[in-house]
Amino acid sequence: MAQRRVGIWYNDSKENSLETAYQLVGVLRRQGVKPVMGPMLAQALGETASSQGDFAGCEFLCVLGGDGTLLAAVDAALDLNLPLLGVNLGRVGYLSEVQPENLARDVGRALAGEGWLDRRMLLRASTSDGGSALALNEVAFNRSENSVGILALEVSAGGAMVDRVAGDGLVVATPTGSTAYSLSAGGPLVAPGLNCILLTPICPHTLRTRPVVVSADQAVQVRLMDQRGGAHVLLDGFKPLPIPPQDPTVTIRRWERTVSFLRLGHLNFFDLMRDKLSEWSH
């Protein structure tokens, strides 16, 4: 029988991340599970080359960090169809499931098969020149760094024009992303099981422009109406998507696949909403 394997995705910028990784490796080995990690973490822990490698064949990917670290791990998890188990080393940790003090207990529960899969929709943003990228949280349209003018965008859904947005930009978000950038821009909180796309204007320069929620079955198109000031598109806060000047339109659709998070039933969406978003600390 092949040895069980669990991947470890590590953010070395987080406080106590190396200590937590060391504890996790011990937890896995005591369960007879092989920890699989990248070269940087293996070197930091003094592991041999046999512990390094990709995550193929792992049962799940244990992500040590905050929500940003989980977002960065999504593409790797999708490539191998791996669920993500987040260990919160960040400030909010809205997507995480495990607190460091409960690491041994919760990883043990996950290995025992007590968890369930929370499948979240993804957005695929594409341009006319073949560029594309995936987003779990949002596709954000912002003014370029050197622009002080108003960004003008025409927004359509299902082939019908929704609005012309003038302001600092627009957030096109999933229900998962409703608690992220979209929320900060004044968008609604949306339960993650709903199949919808949020259109949240950023600082609109008009009294009538408001957030809009459309069906996830509709393709959303966002066209840059005035290219003099410039704009940039950023997915999940770290993946840029260049806008071709000859056709400055970005098409956003729900992707056919989902990403899975391993849950252990600690809190439901509304418990999380009250717990994570009511009290901010810096």
- Hey, which residues are catalytic here? 67
Element (H, E) at 217: none
Closest C-alpha among 136, 158, 144 to residue 224: 144
Q: What is the DSSP letter of 31?
A: T
In this structure, the chain runs to a length of: 282
Q: Any residues with CB less than 8 A from the CB of 85 and at least 6 apart, and which?
A: 60, 61, 62, 63, 97, 98, 107, 110, 115, 261, 262
Strand pairing category for 151-157 and 196-202: unpaired
DSSP letters for 94-157: TT--B-GGGHHHHHHHHHTT--EEEEEEEEEEEETTS-EEEESSEEEEEE-TT--S-EEEEEEE
Q: Residues 36, 42, 48, 54: is their CA dihedral positive or negative?
A: positive
Strand pairing category for 249-263 and 239-240: unpaired
How far from 192 is each of 137, 174, 196, 260, CA to CA, in Å? 11, 8, 9, 12
